[in-house]
């Protein structure tokens, strides 16, 4: 009997990591790690659906599944967004890595915070006002075997609102694989309940993911007078602040 539950579980893991990515994309290392895990589990959802039909080769069910799978393979090869996700995953798996670029959403400060130096006795001094900017991670060109894949501008024939936004591309990618799993289940297995399918989107909570991704503020390119200088941060506006290109020590 075909089984797609393992594929569905992998897609749930992909959702888990894109939610972590949205929540922690201000931290460069965590952002890369969570994005990489998202890509790996997204592809694993496809692979494990295929594995669930391994014993149906040559049967009527197997032939019908291969027809549906063939249609989806064609879409994956032709669609810019799905191809971009696939090539990004290949870069991660082969150890090439994956890089984003960070951009300020607005050149005007979103607010201000204060930094004070701390001497060896723990006394704060030289308090200064520092501008805080809103930033976001944007997708970069993927290069695999000397072939370049630009961030997609269309998905399934529909223009994307922001082709450089990793959250938008992740949501659309997850939706494609979810529909593939759902269609396969309806046609062949009937192993996923309507409650499970509904709970998938409730847990994903796209509105929350988008909100989390938009909460990040950064102190950009602040250079201390000396390396390893200790600073105390007064976050008077309660911004979720991280530091970009900062060489001091934060207390």
Distances (CA, A) of 71 to 3, 10, 39, 156, 235: 20, 21, 21, 13, 53
Q: What is the pLDDT of residues 88-145, one digit of tens each?
A: 999 888 877 677 887 777 778 878 888 888 888 888 888 888 888 777 888 999 887 7
| Terminal Cα-to-Cα distance of the chain (whole angstroms) | 58
Q: What is the pLDDT of residues 159-192, one digit of tens each?
A: 998 889 999 999 999 999 999 999 999 999 999 9
Phi/psi of residue 221, nearest 5 degrees: 55, 35
Which residue range is the domain that position 77 belongs to? 5-250
Average pLDDT over residues 70-90: 94
The structural domain count of the chain equals 1
Which residues, at least 6 apart from 98, have a Cβ–Cβ distance to it below 8 Å? 32, 35, 36, 39, 88, 91, 92, 142
Least confident of 5-19, 167-181, 207-221, 227-241: 227-241
- As a whole number of angstroms, the distance between CA 52 and CA 56 comes to 9
Whole-number pLDDT of residue 96: 74
Higher pLDDT, 213 or 85: 85
Say if strands 249-250 and 230-234 run parallel, antiparallel, or are unpaired: parallel
Indicate the SS3 state at residue 13. helix
pTM: 0.82
């Amino acid at each position: 009997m075909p089984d797609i539950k393992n594929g569905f579980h992998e897609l749930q893991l992909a959702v888990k990591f894109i939610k972590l990515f949205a929540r922690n994309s201000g931290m460069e290392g965590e952002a890369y790690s969570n994005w990489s895990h998202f890509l790996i589990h997204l592809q694993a959802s496809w692979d494990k659906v295929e594995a669930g039909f391994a014993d149906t080769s040559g049967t009527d069910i197997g032939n019908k599944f291969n027809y549906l799978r063939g249609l989806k393979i064609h879409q994956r090869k032709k669609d810019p967004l799905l191809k971009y996700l696939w090539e990004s995953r290949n870069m991660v798996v082969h150890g090439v890595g994956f890089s984003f670029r960070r951009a300020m959403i607005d050149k005007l400060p979103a607010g201000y915070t204060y930094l004070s130096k701390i001497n060896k006795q723990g006394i704060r001094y030289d308090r200064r006002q520092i501008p805080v900017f809103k930033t976001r991670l944007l997708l970069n060109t993927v290069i695999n075997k000397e072939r370049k894949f630009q961030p997609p501008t269309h998905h399934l024939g529909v223009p994307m609102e922001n082709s450089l936004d990793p959250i938008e591309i992740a949501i659309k990618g997850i939706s494609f694989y979810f529909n593939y799993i759902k269609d396969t289940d309806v046609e062949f297995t009937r192993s996923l309940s309507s409650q499970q399918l509904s709970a998938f989107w409730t847990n994903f909570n796209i509105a929350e993911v988008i909100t989390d991704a938009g909460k990040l503020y950064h102190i950009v390119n602040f250079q201390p007078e000396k390396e390893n200088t200790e600073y105390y941060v007064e976050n008077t506006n309660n911004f979720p602040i991280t530091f970009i290109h900062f060489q001091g020590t934060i207390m």
